[in-house]
Amino acid sequence: MISTTSYFSISVPLIRENLRRFWVIPVFGFLAYFFTGVFPLLMAGEDSYSIRSYLQTTLDLRNPGFLIYACLFPLIASAMLFRYLHAPGSVSVMHALPFTRRSLFNSHYLSGLILAGLPVLATGVLFLCIGAPPLPPEAVADSASGYPWELFSPLHMLHWLGMSLLLVIFLYTLCVLSAIVTGNMPMHLICSALLNALLPALFFIGAAYCDRQLFGFPTLGLALSGIVNLSPLISFPVSAGQPGAPAVVAYILVILVLYAVTMLLYTKKPLERAGDSLSFRFMDVIVCYFIALLGMTALAFYFEDAMGGGTVSFYIGLAVGTLIAFFLARIIIKRTVRVWGRETWIQLGAYALAVALFLTGLQFDLFGYERRIPVAERVQSFSINPNMLSLSNGKIVYDYWSSAGYAGFQDPVNLRAIMAFHQRITENKASLRGADNDGDIRTNELQLRYTLSGVIGTSMNREWTLPWSFTRGDESLKTLVESAEFKELNRILTPEYPEPESVKFSQYGVMLDVNLSLAERRAFLACVEKDMRLETYAQFTDLANPLLMLDITLVDKLAGRADPRNRYVSVSVPRHYANSVAWLQENGYYEQILQQDESISSVTLVHYVYGEDPYNPYIASSTERYSFDDPALVRAALAQGESTFLNYRDRWELQFTVPGLSDSRGDSYYGADEDGSYFNYALYLNEGNPLLAQLEGNPLLERLPDSQ
Amino acid sequence: MIQVTDLEKRFGKVQALSSLRMNIKKASIYGLVGANGAGKTTVLKHIAGILRADSGHVTIEGEDVYENLRVKERSCFIPDDLYFFGSYSLKESARFYSRLYPVWNPALYTQMAARFELDENRKLSRFSKGMQKQAAFILSMSAAPDYLILDEPIDGLDPLIRKLVWKYIVDGVAERGMTVLVSSHNLREMEGICDSIGMLANGKMLIERDLDELKSDIHKVQAAFAEDVPAEGRYEGLRVLHKESRGVVDLLIVRNPKEEVERVIGGKSPLIFDLLPLSLEEIFIYEIGGGNHDIDNILF
Amino acid sequence: MFQLDLKSRKSIYEQVIDNLRELILSGALNPGAKLPSVRDLSKTLTVNPNTVQKAYRELERQSYVYTVSGLGTFVDKAESRKTDEALKRGAMELVRRGVRELYYSGMARDEILAFLEELPDSTITPKPAPESAPAITPETTPETKGGQRT
C-alpha cells in the first residue's frame, strides 16, 4: 500500500477509489456503444446489406455515434476526475493527502483512461466474439477495395479496436491538458472543445492569409489534405482508420509529449488560482492572442469583402478587428473593464509586431514561397488537374464522377518540362498575379502537386490561375502533352474499364439518333484513341468547334458485382481527327452529323464591347449585330468558330438556333441575347481567328439594328 | 518538530508571507493566531505540503515537506472548508484513508464515530457543516498522525463537541506525542489548551513564545498611592507601555514579570495595587492592534 | 481530582500547581502518595500535557514532589519543602488586602487584631478537604480581582 505510492509514481488506492466512484461512466459508455454498435450486429440474423454496410462504416471509424462517444466519455471522465481542482477546499484536501503531485496526476490520468477506454475495449471484444456477419460472395470482393485485410476479419476488428483506443487516448489527453490549464468547469469544457479544433483553426487562418497574399498558394487542395491529418478525429473517419503509419506515429508522439507537458504543468500549477478561469499566467496571453487572431481575421476579410475588395479595407479591418478582439479578450480574462494598463499595451504591441512581420513576409514573399521551385533531384513525380489543359474543348477525357487529377508523371523529360513551366510562372508572377480577379480574361487553374523524395517535405503543392494566353503556346506544356506518359494517362479505355457499354453522339447539345453495335463502338473508339495519340499540342489547344461530342459509358471490369460501378466520360471529336472522321464516313454516320450542320440556316454575329460606360460595366456599351445566311459562310463559321471566348469584354459571338433544340426550352444554355431574342448555341471568334478577317466588311453580312 | 525558515510566498502582486520563521516543538500544541488575512491559512498550507514556498524552508524533523511522501504520511491537515469524495459516507472515506495512511486505528475510528454520534453509513454531503468537521476530525485522528494541522477546527461546533475534540487531541499528544498546530480566532479556548503561541501579522511572525512566558511578560496594573508619594519616579525601573491616570488611580500596562512589578510598586506601599496578567485575547489586541484606541478594550 | 477555573486570570499552569500544593499541604496527598501520571492528569483535565509536565517540574523544584523515572511522581516529605517566597509574598498581600477590607467594612484596628488572634488553629493547619469528583465542565465563578480557587 505504501510502497506503490512511492515506486512507479502512482497510487493504487486512489485509482481504486476513482474507479469505485465513477463506475457509472464506463457502464453508460458501454451501453451506448452496445446499442449503437453491437446490438445491430446481433440483430443481423441473415445477410442484410444495410447491416453489413453499417458494420463496415463502424469498423471504418465512420460511425457518427461512436465518434461522438469518443469525444464525450473522455471529456466526462476528465471533468469528473479533475473536478477537485476547481475549488480551493477540495484542492487543499487532495494535496494535503499523502501523494506527490506526480502520483496524484498519474493516478487520475490512468483512472480516466481506464474509465473511458473500458467501453471501447469491451465493444471490441464483443465484436471479436460475435464475429463477421454472413457475407455473400460478391461482398468478399469489397475487401479488395482498400483494406490490407479481409472484410470483417478479426484483424479488421482488432484494427478498429486499436485505432479507437488511440483516438480515445488522444482526445482524453487533450481534455486532461485543458483540465490542468483551466480552473473551473465551464472553462474546462470550452477549452477541451477548442483544443480539438485549435490546430485546424490555426491552419485555416494561416491558409487564409497565405491564400490572399501568396501567388500559387493552393487552398482547396491543401486544406483537404493538410488539415485532415491534424487531428485523428478528422483523419480517422476520412481515411477509414488508415491515415498512414507516419500519422499514427505522430499521434502517439503527440500523446506522449502532451502527457509529459501536462504532468509538468500540474506540478507547477498554482493552487491558489483554483476557481479562476485560467490557471497559468501564460495562458492569459495565449488566449488573448488567439481571440485577437480570430477577431482580426474575421473583420479583415469581412471588411474587404463588404467594401469591395480593396487592400485598404483589408488593413482597416485588420486594425479594427485586432483592437476590438484584443481588448475584449483582456476584459474577459481579467474580469474587469479597466484593462488600459501597461501590460495590455505591451502584449498588444508584441502581437501587432508579430502580425506585421508575418504579413510583410507574405507581401514581399520573404519566405520564398512564390519563387520556390523544387530541387530537381528530389522530384519523384507530379500530378496536375485535367481541366488545366483544355477549355471545354473536350480534348481531356472528362470523367463525370471522378475529379481526380492526372497522377504519377514520372518521365524525367516531363519532370523537367513541368519544372520549366513552374519556373516561367515564378518569373512572370508580377504580371500573372491577380488574373483570377479579372473575370473577363479567360483563365484556367493549374493544380500542381509534386511528390518529393526524402523524409520530410515530401510534397509541394501549388495552385495558380493562369490566363489561357500564357499556357497556350508554352513549349514545356507542349513537351508534356505530346509525351507518351500523357497520352497513356489521357485514354478513354483503361484496364479497369475496357468495355464501352454505350457511345452517344451529340452536337451543339443535341443528341443524335445513333446506335452503335459493340463492334462498332470498339472500332470507332480505337480510331479516336489513335487520333488522340497523334495529336500535337497546337491541335490539342485548338479551340475550334468540334465535329461532335461523345458520351461514353464504360463498365467495371469486375462483372457480376452486386453494385457495378460504371464510368461516364465525355470526349470531343474535332474535325482534324482524321481516322475518326474516316471511320464515320466509311460507316455512314458522317452525313447524319453534317445534316445537323446543314440544318443551321443562318447565323447572327454580335460584337460585344464592355466597359466604356463606367456606370454600367456589365452592360455592353456598344453592340454591333450582323446576320448572314450564305451557306459557305455558315459552314465556315461552324467549322472555324471557337468553343469559348478568351476575352469577355470584347468578343465576337456567333449565335445560331439549332432545330433539334425546341423553343419551348426557354432556358437553353446560352440564354437570351440582351435584346431578348433567343438562340441556343454560340461559338466565338477570338483575336487572330482568320474568319474574322474574312467577315470584316464582307458584303454577305447584313447589318442588324443595334440593341439599345 | 516543525520548522519554518525564512519563508517567502507571493500571490501575484501580493506578498503573502515574508521572512517567516516558526518553530513548533514536538508533542506541543501550538496556536497560530493573527488577524484575518495575516497569512495563517497560507502558512498551514505550506506545512501541510500543499503550497510550495517561493524561497525558504518548511521542514518536519529536518525533512522538507513539499512532495515528501514519508512526511505527508505522518501528518493530517483539516482545512476550514472541507471536501469529501462526492457521494461517500464516513465508512467509505475511512476505508480510503485506511489504505492511504501507513497507520490506521480502526478501534479508535469506531469509538470516535460512536462518541460523536455520527451515522457512518450516511453520505457526508448530507451532514451539516459542523458534523462534517467532526467527520474530518475522526478520519484524521484515526490515521494516528504524528502531526495534526488544524485550520479553525472548532469554528461552528457546539461546546460539548468542542470539549470532546480537545479531549481527543490532548489524548493524542499525551499518548503518542502528537504535535498539533492549530489556527483559530477563539483565543479563550486556545489559551486553555495551547502551550505555545505564534502571532502572525502581515505575513510576518510578530511574536512566538511559550504561552506562559508570553503571559508572564506583560501585566496590567491598577495602583493608587498616598499623596506623599511623589508622582514622578513611581514606576521607575518598569517598562511602562501605557499609562493613564483617572483621578488618583493610575492604570498601566507594563512589560515586566510579576515579581519585578510587585517589588517596584509594592515597595512604595500603594493604597491600591492590583496586578493582573493579560489574557491571550488582550495580548493579541494589544500586539496586533497596536493603536491607543485598543487600549480601552484592555484596561479596566 | 480538582477543578480548573478556565475563566480565571491565573494560568492553567499556576492553577495546577496551586491545586496540587493545596492537596499536598492539606494532607489529602500524603508523603509517598503517587501523583497521577502527566498523561492521565492532562487527559482528565483536558489540559495540555506540557503544562502538566511543567507544573510537575516546578513542584519538584520546590521539593513538593520527586520523580522516579519509570515509576512516577510522588509526594515528598514535608521537611524537604522549600519556602515559596513568592507564595509567601502573595499570601501576605492577600492578608494585607483582607485586613484592609475588614477596615473598610468598619472594623476598628483593635477589632481586627483581636480577630486575627482568635483565629482557630484550624485556619492555619486545615483538615483534609473532602474529595471532589473530577469534573470536565468548568464552573463559572464570580470574577474577583484576586482570582479564586475552588
- What pLDDT is attached to residue A562? 52
Q: Would you say residue C150 has pLDDT above 80?
A: no
Q: Domains of chain A: which residue ranges?
A: 2-198+229-278, 287-363, 376-489, 499-589, 600-704
* pLDDT tens profile A146-198: 677 777 788 888 999 999 999 999 999 999 999 999 888 888 888 888 888 88
Which residue in B has a C-alpha nearest to residue C15's C-alpha?
Answer: B192
**Chain A closest-CA separation from residue B51 CA (Å):** 7
The residues, ordered by sequence, that sit 6+ positions from B287 with a Cβ below 8 Å of its Cβ are: B199, B201, B206, B207
> Do residue A21 and residue B87 have CB atoms under 8 angstroms apart?
yes
- H helix intervals, A364-500: 412-427, 429-432, 468-472, 475-481, 484-489
Q: At B224, is the secondary structure helix, strand, or coil?
A: strand
Task: Please compute the mean of the pLDDT values over residues A485-503 and round it to a whole number.
Answer: 84
Give the minimum alpha-carbon distance from B280 to chain C in angstroms, rounded to a whole number: 10
Here the cell at position A172 is 482524453
CATH of B2-213, one of 3.40.50.720, 2.40.128.520, 3.50.50.60, 3.40.50.300: 3.40.50.300
Using CA atoms, how far apart are residues B166 and B181, in angstroms rounded to an integer? 13
> Domains of chain C, with CATH numbers?
12-124 (1.10.10.10)
Residue B164 has a pLDDT of 92
SS3 B15: strand
Q: Cβ contact (<8 Å) for C48 and B170?
A: yes
- Neighboring chains of B (3 or more beta-carbon pairs < 8 A): A, C
Rounded to the nearest angstrom, the minimum Cα separation between B245 and chain A is 50
Q: Sorting pLDDT into bands at 50, 70 and 90, what band is A511?
A: confident
The alpha-carbon radius of gyration of chain A (Å, integer) is 33
Separation CA A296–CA A316 (nearest Å): 10
C49/B174 touch (CB, cutoff 8 Å), yes or no: yes
User: Which of the given ranges, A57-61, B284-288, B293-297, has the highest pLDDT on average?
Assistant: A57-61
Give the helix ranges, DSSP H, for C46-145: 49-61, 85-104, 109-117, 121-124
Give the pLDDT score at A46: 62
**Of A170 and B277, which is predicted with more confidence?**
A170
- Amino acid letter, B207: I
**B73 contacts in chain A (CB < 8 Å):** 2, 98
- What 3-state DSSP class applies to C136? coil
Query: Can you tell me the mean pLDDT for C105-134?
Result: 69
- Chain C interface residues (partner B, CB cutoff 8 A): 6, 9-13, 38-39, 42-43, 46-51, 54, 86, 89, 93, 136-137, 145
CB B168 within 8 A of CB B180: no
**pLDDT of the residue at C76:** 84
The alpha-carbon gap from B210 to the nearest alpha carbon of chain A, in Å, equals: 28
Residues with Cβ within 8 Å of residue B218, at least 6 apart in sequence: B241, B253, B254, B255, B277, B278, B283, B286
In chain B, % helix, strand, coil (3-state, to 5) comes to: 35, 30, 35
The answer to whether the Cβ–Cβ distance between A1 and B99 falls below 8 Å is yes
φ/ψ of residue A702, rounded to 5: -105, 125
Q: In chain B, where do the E strands start and end?
A: 2-11, 14-24, 29-34, 55-60, 63-64, 75-78, 147-151, 179-183, 196-201, 204-210, 219-224, 240-246, 249-254, 272-277
Residue type, A558: L
Q: Which pLDDT belongs to residue C133?
A: 43
Higher-pLDDT residue of A138 and B159 is: B159
Residue among B35, B18, B23 at smallest CA distance from B210: B23
Question: What local confidence, expressed as pLDDT, does residue A107 receive?
Answer: 94
Identify which of A159, A175, A178, A182 has the alpha carbon closest to the alpha carbon of residue A273.
A182
* pLDDT tens-place string over residues A61-70: 888 889 999 9
Among partner residues A13, A93, A271, which is closest to B83 by beta-carbon distance? A93
Domain chopping of chain B, boundaries: 2-213, 219-277
pLDDT at B271: 82
ipTM, interface predicted TM-score of the complex: 0.88
CB burial of B42-74 (b: ≥16 within 10 Å; e: otherwise) equals bbbbbbbbbbbbeebebbbeeeebbbbbebbbb
d(CA A95, CA A271): 9
DSSP letter at A243 equals: -
Confidence tier at A649 by pLDDT (50, 70, 90): confident
pLDDT attached to residue A405: 64
Q: What percent of chain B has pLDDT over 90?
A: 49
A619 pLDDT band, cuts 50/70/90, is low
List, for residues A347-375, the tens digit of each pLDDT value. Answer: 899 999 999 999 888 888 887 788 888 88
Share of chain A above pLDDT 90, in %: 20
CA A173 to chain centre: 29
Half-sphere exposure of A685 (CA within 13 A, CB side): 24
pLDDT at B141 over 60: yes
Task: Kindly give, in sequence order, each residue whose CB lies less than 8 Å from that of residue C20, ignoring residues fewer than 6 positions away.
Answer: C2, C29, C35, C55, C59, C64, C65
Q: What per-residue confidence (pLDDT) applies to B106?
A: 94
* Tens-digit pLDDT profile for residues B217-276: 888 888 888 877 777 777 888 888 888 888 888 888 888 888 888 888 877 878 888 888
Pairing outcome for strands A622-628 and B179-183: unpaired
Q: Residue B60 above 50 pLDDT?
A: yes
Least confidently predicted of A37-41, A408-412, B167-171? A37-41
Question: pLDDT band at residue C134, thresholds of 50, 70 and 90?
Answer: very low
C-chain residues near B277 (CB < 8 A): 9-11
Q: Which residue has the cell 484496364?
A: A495
Contact B174 C39 (CB under 8 A): yes
Alpha carbon A540 to chain centroid distance? 28
A touches C (3+ CB pairs < 8 Å)? no
C136/B262 touch (CB, cutoff 8 Å), yes or no: no
Rounded Cα gap, residues C99 and C102, in angstroms: 5
pLDDT for A342: 85
Q: What is the mean pLDDT of chain A?
A: 82
Compare all CA atoms of chain A with the CA of B69 and give the residue at the minimum distance: A98
Burial class (CB in 10 A: 0-12, 13-18, 19+), C23: buried
Question: B129-142 vs B159-176: helix axis angle to the nearest 10?
Answer: 10
Q: Classify strands A681-685 and B2-11 as parallel, antiparallel or unpaired.
A: unpaired
C42 → closest Cβ in B163, B174, B259: B174
Residue C148 clears pLDDT 60, i.e. is over it: no
Residues of A in contact with B96 (CB under 8 A): 13, 17
Which residues is C73 bridged to in the sheet?
A: C67
Residue range C84-108: average pLDDT?
A: 81
Enumerate the residues of chain C whose CB falls inside 8 A of the CB of residue B219.
none
Q: Is A272's CB within 8 Å of B77's CB?
A: no
**B10-35 mean pLDDT:** 91
The pLDDT value recorded for residue A668 is 45
Confidence of residue A271 (pLDDT cuts 50, 70, 90): confident
- Find the radius of gyration of the CA atoms of chain B: 23
Nearest-neighbour CA in chain B from C64: distance (Å): 21
Minimal CA separation from C6 to chain B, in Å: 7
* Residue B227 confidence (pLDDT): 77
